[in-house]
Structure 1
Amino acid sequence: MILDYYCTDHEIVCCRAGISHEHRLCQNVLPLELASNDVRKSALFNDVMEDMTHIITTLNALDNNRQSNLQSMEESKSAITKQIRAVKSKILKQIDDLERELLTNLSSLQRKHEIDINKQKQEISQVLVNVIENKNEMDFLSDHGSKNQLFIFFRQQVTNIHSAEVKIQQIVSDSQEFDITFDEKKDGKLESLGSLSEYFQQCQVQYKPKKFQQAQIKAEPMKNNQGFEKDTVLKLNTNVVKSLFSVSVTDDNKLLITNIKSSAPKLYVYRDCKDYETEITFSSAPYCVAVIPGTNRAVITLPYAMSIQFINTTTMTKSDKVNMGFECNGITAGRDRIYVGGTGGTIKALDTNGKILKTIRQRSEDIYIMVYNDLHDQLIVRCFNKLLCVKVDGTLVYSKNVSGVSGVILDRQRNIYFAGFETHNIQRISSDEENCEEMLNKDNDIDYPYGMCFNNDFTKLFVINNYRKSVCVYKCK
C-alpha cells in the first residue's frame, strides 16, 4: 500500500493498514501531505543536507589524511634509511680507527723488542768472536808451539774463559723470549645499529554526527546580534593593583578573570557572572583561561613557567602543571582538543588531559590570544597588530591588520569579534568572512579593551576595559 501517513510518536512513515494495526493508539498520526508541509524549510531538510555535506567533507578529509599518512611514511622510510646508513658509516669509521690504533701499537711493541734483541745479539757476537780467536790460536800452539808457550797460553785462557762465562751468564739472565698475541674482544658482537618504534596518534580528522529533527518542526534561523547596550560594570571584590587579561565563562555560569600583575597572580571567580565567589593564587602570572566545553574543567596559561595548569571549576582547585617547553600565552579548547600558542608563532595541540599530540609552526609572530572555531575547524589567532585565521595544520587562511593586542571571540553563529586596543572599538567579521562592521566604540565607553567573552546564552558580552582595570557588561540586542 502507499505510504501516506506519518506517526510523530514513533517517527515513522506508514500506510493506512499500518495505522490500524500498529499505530491505532498513537495520538499524533498526520497525513504525509501535512507532515511534509514546508519540508524544504524544516530542520530535517537542513540537517540531512548538512549531514550529507558533512559526511562528504569528512570522507574526503579522511581520504586525504590516509594519502598524507602514506606519503609521510614513505618520507620517514627515506629519512630512516639515511639515518641507518649514517650510523653504519659512523660504526665503520670507529672500526677503522680501532684497527689503526691496534696496528700502530703492534708495530711499536715489535720495534721495542727488536732493539733489545739486536743489542743482545751484538754482545753475543762479540763474545763469540773472542772465543773463536782464542780457540784458533790454541790449536796453532798445540801443533807448533813449545811447551813453555803452550803452558803460558793455557794459563791466560783460564782467565779469558772465566770472563766469557761471566759475560754469557749476564746475557742469559738479561735475555727474554718476546712474543705478541691478540686477545679478541669476546663481547665484540654487534647486536644492532638501533631500533625502530611505531608511533600512534588519533586521526586528526574528526566526525561528529548531527541530530536529525522531525520534518514538521521548522528550522528557525539564528539571528545575528543587532547591537549592544551597556548594562553595568562588574563590581570587582579586590583592592589590589589590577592588570586584567582574560575572561571566560564556565558551563555552570561562573565568570573567570585572570590578573597578570606579578604582585597578585590570581584568577577571580564570580558566580552567576556577577557575584564575587573566590579567587585562586598561582605561582606566576596567569594569562589566558579557557573552559573545556561540556566539563567542569578549565585550563590556564602560565607563560613565565612555560606551563599550563588545569582547574576544577566546581571546587575551584588547581591540578598539576603541564610543561609546554615554550613561553605560552594564548589558549583555547574544543570538546576533544586544547590548542596552546605563544612565542615564535608556535601552536601545540593537546588532548583534554594535557598530552601533547603535535606541534604546529605557523608563522614567526608571537601569539597572545586565540579561539577555536569548531564550525570551520580553524584557529583565530591574535598577534601584535595582526588577526590571523589558520587551519589546525598551520595553513594560513587570511591575515588582517588590527590595533595592538586585544581579545577575540566567537558568537553562536561563529561570527568573529575582535577588539582594537588603541582604536577603542570592537568589530565583527561575519562567519562567511564577507563583511566586517564596528559593533562598539568609544561612544559605548569602550576604552583600551582587552579580553572578552559571551555568557552561555549569548545575551551578555563581558569586556575587560579601561586599560585592563575593569569589566564592562553589555546586553545583546
Structure 2
Amino acid sequence: MILDYYCTDHEIVCCRACISDKHRLCQNVLPLELASNDVRKSALFNDVMEDMTHLITTLNALDNNRQSNLQSIEKSKSTITKQIRAVKSKFLKQIDDLERELTTTLSSLQRKHEIEINKQKQEISQVLVNVIENKNEMDFLSDHGSKNQLFIFLRQQVTNIHSPEVKIQQIVSDSQEFDITFDEKKDVKLKSFGSLSEYVQQCQVQYKPRKCQHAQIKAEPMKYIIGFEKNTGLKLKIGETYALQDVTVTNDNKLLITNAASSDTKLYVYRDCKDYETEITFSSAPHCVAVIPGTDRAVITLHNEKSIQFINTTKMTKGDTVNVGFLCFGIAAGRDRIYVGGQGGIIKTLDTNGTLLKTIEQGSNCIFFMVYNDLQDQLFVRYHDKLLCIKLDGTLLYSKDVSGVAGLTLDRQRNIYFGDFGTSIIQRMSSDGENYEEMLNQDNDINRPYGMCFNNDFTKLFIINNRHESVSVFKCK
C-alpha cells in the first residue's frame, strides 16, 4: 500500500493498514503531506546531507589511504628486491674469493711437489747413467775381452757397485708419493639471505559519526622507535652513596629510583622525570620497584627482609609491608595483580592488597627482574644469562640465552628491551622472541647498565648506568 502517514512516536513512515494494526495507540500520527512540509529547509534534510557528505569524504580518504598503502608496499618490494640482489652479489663474491683461494693453494702445492720430484728424478738419472755405462762395459769385456781383463773389471765392480746401492737406498728413503685431493664440504647450505618483517599499525583514517565529531581527523600513528639520541643525564642528589638498582615512572610522571647502598637505602623521587623532589628511606636495601597501573601506588622489593612494601606515589609515604616468605628481587604489576620473583625461580602472584593468590616455580635460578606484558598477559623474567617468557599460569613460552644480568622494559609495541651488564649493550627483542637487534652499546656511553624504563609517552629511555652510579637519559627517535 502507499506510504502516506508518519508516526512521530516511532519515527517511522507507514501506510493506513499499519496505522490500524500497529499504531492505534500512537498520539502523533501525521499525514505524510503535513509531515513533509518544508522538508528541504528542515534540520533533518541538512543533517542527512551532511552525514552523506561526511561518509563520502571518509570513504574517499579511506580509498586514498588504501591506494597509498598499495603504492608503499610496491615501493618496499622494489627496495627489498634490490637489497636481496645486493646480498646475493656479496655471497657470489665470497664464493669467487674462496674459489681463487683454493685454486691458488692448489697451484702452490703442485709446484712444491713438482720441484721435489724433479730433483729426485735428476738424482735417479745420474745413478742410472753410471750403472748403464758399467753394464755396457761389462757386456763388451764378456764378449771381446780376455779372462784377465774381465776378472779385473769384476773385482773393481764389487767395490764400485756399493756406491750406487747406497745412493739408491737414500733416494728410496727420501722419496714420497704425493697426491692432492679436494674435501668437499657436504653440509654447506645457504638457508637464507635474511628475513622479512611485517610491521602493522592501525589505519590512519578513522570514522566517527558526524554528530560526535564534525571534522574528520587522522589518527595519530603509533610511533615505532628506530633509535636513540644521548640526552643530558639525570642530575642526581649530591652527597649520596649510590648503588642504584631499578627505575620506573609513576602515572603522574615522577621518576622513582631505588638505591641499595648500605648507607643510603632509599627510593629517590624526581618530578617531571628530571628534578629531585624527595626521598624515602627504608630499613633495608630496596631492589626493584613497580607502579600499579591506573593508581597512585607503587610497590618495591626488600629482599633481605623477604618482603615487599607499598608506597603512596602522590604523598610519597610508605604503606603496608607484606612478608612473601623468600628472598625477592624482581617485581611487576598489572591493574589487579602483583608478581614477585626471586630465589629458587619462585614467582608469587598477589592481589593489589598483598594477599597471596598463587605460587609458581619456574626453574631454580634466582629471578632478578620482571616485567608484565598487559597485551598478551605474559611475564618476561630475567635470570642470570637467561630471559624467559611465561604465561601467568607459569607455562614457559620460550627461553633465550642472554649474557649477564640487567633490567627489562617494554616499549609501546611491547618489544622487550634488556641490558647486558657484562658487555655493556642494550638489545631489543620482539615480544614473540623471534627478532632482536642491538640498540645501544659502549659507543653510546653504555657502561655496565642495570635497571631501565621508558617515560609514559615513550619519548625517553632511562638507564641506570656506569656500574650503578648514574642514570643516563636517551631521546627516542
Which TM-score bucket, shorter chain as reference?
Answer: 0.5 to 0.7
One-letter code aligned to 2:254: K
Structure 2: distance between partners of 1:400 and 1:231: 31
For residue 405 of structure 1, report the CA deviation from its aligned partner.
Answer: 1.1
The Cα shift of 1:434 comes to 2.7
1:438 aligns to what?
A: 438
Please, which of 202, 207, 217 is the counterpart of residue 214 of structure 1? 207
Specify the code of the residue in structure 2 equivalent to 1:287.
Answer: H
What residue number does 1:324 align with?
324
| Deviations 1:105-163 (CA, angstroms, capped at 9, x unpaired) | xxxxxxxxxxxxxxxxxxxxxxxxxxxxxxxxxxxxxxxxxxxxxxxxxxxxxxxxxxx
Alpha-carbon distance between aligned partners in 2 of 1:352 and 1:447, rounded to the nearest angstrom = 35
1:185-227 Cα shifts (integer Å, max 9, x gaps) = xxxxxxxxxxxxxxxxxxxxxxxxxxx9636655554232111
Three-state SS of the structure 1 residue aligned to 2:57 is: helix
Q: Secondary structure at the match of 2:276?
A: strand
Alignment pair present for 1:457 and 2:450 = no
Name the counterpart of 1:371.
371
Q: How does 1:158-177 map to 2 (within 5 A)?
A: none
SS at match of 2:372: strand
In structure 1, distance between residues paired with 2:46 and 2:235? 61
Q: Distance in 2 between matches of 1:370 and 1:217?
A: 39
Shift, 1:442, TM fit: 0.0
Q: How does 1:63-462 map to 2 (within 5 A)?
A: 214=207, 219=219, 221-462=221-462
Alpha-carbon distance between aligned partners in 1 of 2:41 and 2:407, rounded to the nearest angstrom: 58
Deviation at 1:320, TM superposition (A): 1.5
Q: Secondary structure at the match of 1:322?
A: strand
Partners of 1:338 and 1:217 in 2: CA distance:
39
Q: For 1:28 and 1:292, locate their aligned partners in 2 and report how far apart those are by CA, in whole Å.
A: 45
Task: State the alpha-carbon separation in 1 of the partners of residues 474 and 45 from structure 2.
Answer: 52
Name the CA shift for 1:34/1:397 in 2 (closer, same or farther; >3 Å): same
Note closer, same or farther for the CA distance 1:364–1:25 as it changes in structure 2 (3 Å cut).
Answer: same
For 2:52, the equivalent position in structure 1 comes to 30
Larger Rg: 1
> Cα offset for 1:29?
2.0
- Cα displacement (A) at 1:229: 0.8
* Paired residue secondary structure (1:29): helix
Relative to structure 1, the CA distance from residue 315 to residue 25 in structure 2 (aligned partners, 3 Å threshold; closer, same or farther) is same
- 5+ residue gaps in structure 2? 1-35, 66-204, 209-215
Question: Any conservation in 2 of the 1:41–1:218 contact (CA below 8 Å)?
Answer: no
The CA distance in 2 between the partners of 1:19 and 1:375, in whole Å, is 50
Q: Kindly tell me: are residues 246 and 22 of structure 1, through their superposed partners in 2, closer, same or farther at Cα, counting changes over 3 Å?
A: same
Does structure 2 retain, via aligned residues, the 8 Å contact 1:41–1:219?
A: no
Count of aligned residue pairs for this structure pair? 294
Q: Is the 8 A contact 2:379 2:389 kept in 1?
A: yes
TM-score (norm 2): 0.58
Task: Quote the Cα distance in structure 1 between the aligned partners of 2:464 and 2:305.
Answer: 24
- In structure 2, the CA distance between the partners of 1:360 and 1:239, relative to structure 1 (3 Å rule), is same
Amino acid at match of 1:279: E
Rate the CA distance shift 1:470–1:33 in 2: closer, same or farther, 3 A.
same
Post-superposition shift, 1:430? 2.0
SS of 2:231's equivalent? Answer: strand
Contact 1:240 1:264 in 2 (8 A): yes
Report the residue type matching 2:375 in the other structure.
Answer: L
CA gap 1:364/1:223 in 2 versus in 1, 3 angstroms: same
Give the 3-state SS of the residue equivalent to 2:341 in structure 1: strand
Q: Distance in 1 between matches of 2:373 and 2:42?
A: 50
The letter of the residue matching 1:291 is V
Q: Report the Cα distance in structure 2 between the residues aligned to 1:41 and 1:382, rounded to whole angstroms.
A: 45
| Cα gap change, 1:219 to 1:284, in 2 (>3 Å) | same
Task: State the Cα distance separating 1:431 from its structure 2 match.
Answer: 3.3
**What secondary structure, in the 3-state scheme, does the structure 2 residue paired with 1:35 have?**
helix
Separation in 2, partners of 1:249, 1:320:
21
User: In the alignment, which residue of structure 2 is the partner of 1:185?
Assistant: none
C-alpha offsets along residues 324-358 of structure 1, whole Å, 9 cap, x if unaligned?
11111100111121111111111111111212111
Cα distance in structure 1, aligned partners of 2:244 and 2:270? 14
Give the distance between the partners of 1:233 and 1:27, measured in 2 at CA: 57
Change (3 A) 1:30 1:443: same
Give 1:21 shift.
Answer: 6.7
Q: Which amino acid aligns with 2:266?
A: K
Shift of 1:239: 1.8
**d(CA) in 2 for partners of 1:23, 1:327:** 71
SS in 1 for 2:52: strand
Distance change >3 Å, CA 295–CA 23, structure 1 → 2: farther
For the structure 1 residues 19 and 264, does the alpha-carbon distance in structure 2 shift closer, same or farther, using more than 3 Å as the test?
Answer: farther
SS at match of 1:260: strand
Partner Cα separation in structure 2 for residue 245 and residue 446 of structure 1: 16
SS at match of 1:304: helix
Partner SS, residue 431 of structure 1: coil
* Paired letter, 1:320: D
Q: What TM-score do the two structures reach when normalised by structure 1?
A: 0.58
Distance 1:33 1:396, change over 3 A: same
Give the residue type in structure 2 aligned to 1:371.
V
Cα offset, 1:323, TM superposition: 1.1
**Secondary structure of residue in 2 paired with 1:443:** helix
Inter-partner Cα distance in structure 2 for 1:449 and 1:18: 71
Q: Distance between the aligned counterparts of 1:302 and 1:396, measured in 2?
A: 27
> Residue 327 of structure 2 aligns to which amino acid in structure 1?
E
- Deviation at residue 238 of structure 1 after TM alignment: 3.5
Report the RMSD for the aligned CA atoms in angstroms: 2.6
Name the CA distance, whole Å, in 2 between partners of 1:19 and 1:325: 76
Indicate conservation of the 8 Å contact 2:398/2:433, yes or no: no
Q: Which residue does 1:92 correspond to in 2?
A: none
Change (3 A) 1:422 1:220: same
CA distance in 1, matches of 2:384, 2:327: 16
CA distance in 2 between counterparts of 1:299 and 1:471 reads 21
Q: Specify the alignment match of 1:127 in structure 2.
A: none
**For residues 424 and 258 of structure 1, what CA distance do their matches in structure 2 show?**
21
